[in-house]
Amino acid sequence: MSDEEREKLRAFLTELRDLCGKYGYKIGGCGCCDSPWIVVGGDKPIDVGNLRADGQEASVWVRGEGEVTTNER
């Protein structure tokens, strides 16, 4: 994943985190199949899985690269 794509993904996650906070919603998956997942990258699709979001943080897991999150660890 390019640095540009990673920054775009992080910007998306930041808005999603804040959207979940606004509505008090949480997004999570079953943990067995990378769900929920999103496809980023436009013409060069990249599947990213394990999307999690609540009003405090949003993150995904990029296969072979690791976590992308709105929060510093």
- The region of 1-9, 16-24, 33-41, 57-65 touching Zn ion under the rule CB under 5 A is 33-41
Q: Please say which residue, 32 or 44, places its beta carbon nearer to Zn ion.
A: 32
Instruction: Choose which of 3, 22, 24, 32 interacts with Zn ion (CB under 5 A).
Output: 32
45: preceding bond cis by omega (within 30 degrees): no
Least Cβ distance, residue 13 to Zn ion (angstroms) = 21
Rounded Cα distance, 43 and 73, in Å: 31
30 binds Zn ion (CB under 5 A): yes
Residue from 72, 73, 70 nearest 13 by CA? 70
Least Cβ distance, residue 61 to Zn ion (angstroms) = 14
What's the sign of the alpha-carbon dihedral 54, 71, 43, 36?
negative
Residues found near Zn ion in the complex (CB under 5 A): 30, 32-33, 35
